[in-house]
Amino acid sequence: MQFIRNLFNRVPILNSEQRWECPNCELTDITHEARPHTRFHTCRGLKGLTAPFVPAGTRCKVEAVEREDYIGQEVVTYDGESRPIMRVETTREEGNDVAVFAPLARSNGGVG
Ligand SMILES: [Zn+2]
């Protein structure tokens, strides 16, 4: 009986499997993370941008949104056609998820 109990203790707890897909490219992924999370990938369909996967079977669209504001001395994210991209937006029936590429202040690397 003790042997059987040990055997069961060795069986790993199966996490829920989450399948991911991208409406803009062929990539898919599978994660086994129990907590809420989002997978990102470099999307060929969005010209190399980092885009979120969506849960497989989700009816939605994922699209890049260009920056509309003036680009100064900040480092911004560009797509493969050198368009400055402000965010990647996932439009679902329940609402939008937005991944914002926050501009980074350019550093001079020195003091003063
Ligand atoms: Zn993709």
Tens of pLDDT, residues 21-78: 999 999 999 998 888 888 999 999 999 999 999 999 988 899 998 887 766 767 778 8
Distance 91 CA to ligand 1 centre (A): 14
Which residues neighbour 69 within 8 Å (Cβ) at sequence distance 6 or greater? 86
Do 22 and 29 meet the contact criterion of CB atoms below 8 Å apart? no
Q: The pTM is what?
A: 0.63
**CB-proximal residues (5 Å) to ion ligand 1:** 22, 24-25, 43, 45
Report pLDDT for 2: 59
Q: Where are the beta strands (DSSP E) in the chain?
A: 18-21, 28-31, 40-43, 49-52, 54-55, 60-66, 74-75, 77-78, 84-92, 96-100, 104-105
Q: How far is CA 20 from the centre of its chain?
A: 10
Report pLDDT for 104: 66
Distance 89 CA to ligand 1 centre (A): 13
